[in-house]
Amino acid sequence: MAEAPSGRREEVSQRAVAVGTAFIAVDLLDEGLWSCVHYLTRNQPYQYLFFMHSQETESKGPPLLPQPHYPFITKLLIELFNEGNLSNVQQIHIEPVYGYVGRIVYHNGAVRFFRGSSLGINRLGASEVARDKGYTKHFLQSLGYRTPPGKVFLFPRFVELIDRNLGRFGFGGYDHVEAVLAFIDESLGYPCYLKPNEGSQGRGIECCRTAGEVRAALENFAEQGAFKVIVEKAVPHPDYRVVVMGDEIISCYLRKPLELIGDGTSNIDALFQTRQVRFEEQGRDTVLNLIDPRIESSLQRLGWNRDTILDAGQVWRVYDVSNLSVGGDSEDYTETIHPYWRHLCIKITADMGLRLCGVDLACESITDAAADYSILEINAAPGLDNYAATGAAQASRVRDLYRRAFDECVDV
C-alpha cells in the first residue's frame, strides 16, 4: 500500500478525528492529483491508500490497481485508463472497498458517476422508466411496438400504501393480485410468465403452466415483499439481446437457457459443478445459484432430485429464462441481424429516451425482416461481462463500447 505524504498524514488524521469518522478522503491536487483515503478505527493503526489518478501525472505514481473482486466494468475502466485509452478523462476515483462505484472527472470539468453497469450516460427519468416493466410496456405499446399481452397487478401491502394518498381523491381503480388467475383464464392462457415488475438478470421470473404454479409463484412474491407483479403471455420465439449505443448496434446475440446434458454417470449436482467449472475456465463471472427455488420446482415437476442421473445425451432445461447471468449461453448474430431489426432497436432506444440500451427481442428469426416479434423488456444498464467472455470478437466489441462510453463527456 502506498504511503501518504508525511506532511498530509497528520492533517488527514486530525480531520478524521475532528469529524469522528472512520473514513475520509482528501484530494491532494498539489501533490500529483492523488487522493489519500484514511481508514481510522480504534483498534487498528492508520492506513492510507492512493486510488485517484490522473493521466497528466502518470509518471508521479503507480497506476491504478484493480482488486480481483472488483466488478468487470470497474476493472475494464481501470485498464483502459492505465493504458491511456481515455483521452478525455482527467481523473478517476474508485471506491476502494468494493469497487462498485466511481467518479470520473473530464478535462473540461464535467463529472460523471457510475454504479455497477449503470454508466451514467442515460438520463435518470428514462432509466427509471426502463426499470419498471409495466411502464415500459405502456409506453412501448403507445408508440406502436408489439409487446407480450399482459398486465401489472398490485399486492395488498402496496395498495394500502398508495391508497393513503389516492383514496383521498376517490380513486379505487387498482388491479388487485387476487384477480390474476381470472385474468390468465380470460385473456392469456397457459403457459404464462409472472415477473417482478422491477428487476433484471432474470431474477424471480416464473413460467407457470397451471393455476397451482401461479398460486405458488404469487405466494413466493408475497413472501419476498413484492409490491407489484407483471403477468404476461408466453411468446414462443427465440430470445435475442440487442445492445444499442446511440445510432449503432454494438452487439446482437441469441440467448439460450441453461441446460445440463447427462453423461450417464454423473448426478445432477455433479453436472452443476461441472458447468460452474466451465464458466470459470471461460472467464465468466456467473455463479450458479443452486438454492434457487425454480430449480427445485423444475425437478419436482419432472419427478427428479439432485441425485438423479441423466442418461448420456439427455438434456434438462434448468430455467425457462435465458439470461446469461443465470447460466444461459449465447450465439452471436451481430454480423447477421437484418437491417430491419437494427433500425427497430435503434428507434426503440431513441423513443424511450435512452442512449445506451439492451433491447430484449423475442423474434421468429432475427435475419428475416418479416418475422413475428415482441419486445420483452428494455434495459438501461445492460451487463456485457458474460457476453464478453464468449470470444475474442465479443470481448473486443465490449471493450470498444466501454471505451467510447467512458470517454464521452455527457451532460445528464
Higher pLDDT, 31 or 166: 166
Q: What is the CATH number of the domain that holds 129?
A: 3.30.470.20
Do residue 249 and residue 394 come from a single domain?
yes
Considering only 107-121, 188-202, 269-283, which range has the smallest mean pLDDT?
188-202
Question: What is residue 15's predicted lDDT score, i.e. its pLDDT?
Answer: 42
3-state helix, strand, coil split of the chain in percent (to 5) is: 35, 25, 40
Question: What is residue 58's predicted lDDT score, i.e. its pLDDT?
Answer: 41
CB-neighbour burial class of residue 199 (10 A; exposed 0-12, middle 13-18, buried 19+)? middle
At 248-279, the pLDDT tens digits run 999 999 999 999 999 999 999 999 999 999 99
Full domain range(s) for residue 101: 6-118
What is the distance between the alpha carbons of residues 164 and 25, in angstroms, rounded to a whole number?
43
Do residue 90 and residue 225 come from a single domain?
no
What is the distance between the alpha carbons of residues 74 and 85, in angstroms, rounded to a whole number?
15
Neighbours of 145 (CB within 10 A): 18
Question: What is residue 3's predicted lDDT score, i.e. its pLDDT?
Answer: 43
* pLDDT classification of 210: cutoffs 50, 70, 90: very high
Do residue 404 and residue 288 come from a single domain?
no
Secondary structure of residue 18 in the 3-state scheme: helix
β-pair type (101-106, 111-115): antiparallel
Amino acid identity, residue 275? R
Q: Give the whole-number percent of the chain exceeding pLDDT 90.
A: 70
Instruction: Average the pLDDT over 32-55 and give the result.
Output: 36
Question: What is residue 63's predicted lDDT score, i.e. its pLDDT?
Answer: 66
Question: What is residue 398's predicted lDDT score, i.e. its pLDDT?
Answer: 95
Do residue 133 and residue 244 come from a single domain?
yes
> Is the whole-model pTM more than 0.85?
no
Residue 333 has pLDDT above 60, yes or no: yes
* pLDDT classification of 64: cutoffs 50, 70, 90: confident
Contact status, residue 351 vs residue 103, Cβ threshold 8 Å: no
Residue 158 has pLDDT above 60, yes or no: yes
Closest residue by Cα to residue 257 from 353, 173, 159, 331: 331
* pLDDT classification of 326: cutoffs 50, 70, 90: confident
What is the distance between the alpha carbons of residues 384 and 382, in angstroms, rounded to a whole number?
6
What is the distance between the alpha carbons of residues 343 and 96, in angstroms, rounded to a whole number?
41
Instruction: Average the pLDDT over 14-32 and give the result.
Output: 37
CB burial string 239-269: b at 16+ within 10 A, e below = bbbbbbbeeebbbbbbbebbebebeeebbbe
Higher pLDDT, 327 or 52: 327
Residue 376 has pLDDT above 90, yes or no: yes
Residue 25 has pLDDT above 90, yes or no: no
Chain position carrying cell 444499442: 244
Question: What is residue 41's predicted lDDT score, i.e. its pLDDT?
Answer: 28
The answer to the question of residue 1 being in a domain is: no
Q: Give just the sign of the alpha carbon dihedral 88, 50, 113, 246.
A: positive
Last residue of some domain: 294, 318, 342? Answer: 318
Last residue of some domain: 272, 296, 318? Answer: 318
Contact status, residue 91 vs residue 29, Cβ threshold 8 Å: no
Question: What is residue 36's predicted lDDT score, i.e. its pLDDT?
Answer: 35
Contact status, residue 159 vs residue 176, Cβ threshold 8 Å: yes
Residue 31 has pLDDT above 50, yes or no: no
Q: What is the CATH number of the domain that holds 201?
A: 3.30.1490.20
Do residue 126 and residue 90 come from a single domain?
no
Do residue 242 and residue 348 come from a single domain?
yes
Question: What is residue 62's predicted lDDT score, i.e. its pLDDT?
Answer: 56
Question: What is residue 1's predicted lDDT score, i.e. its pLDDT?
Answer: 37
Quote the number of domains for the chain: 4
Question: What is residue 233's predicted lDDT score, i.e. its pLDDT?
Answer: 96
What is the distance between the alpha carbons of residues 31 and 14, in angstroms, rounded to a whole number?
19
Residue 32 has pLDDT above 70, yes or no: no
Contact status, residue 101 vs residue 95, Cβ threshold 8 Å: yes
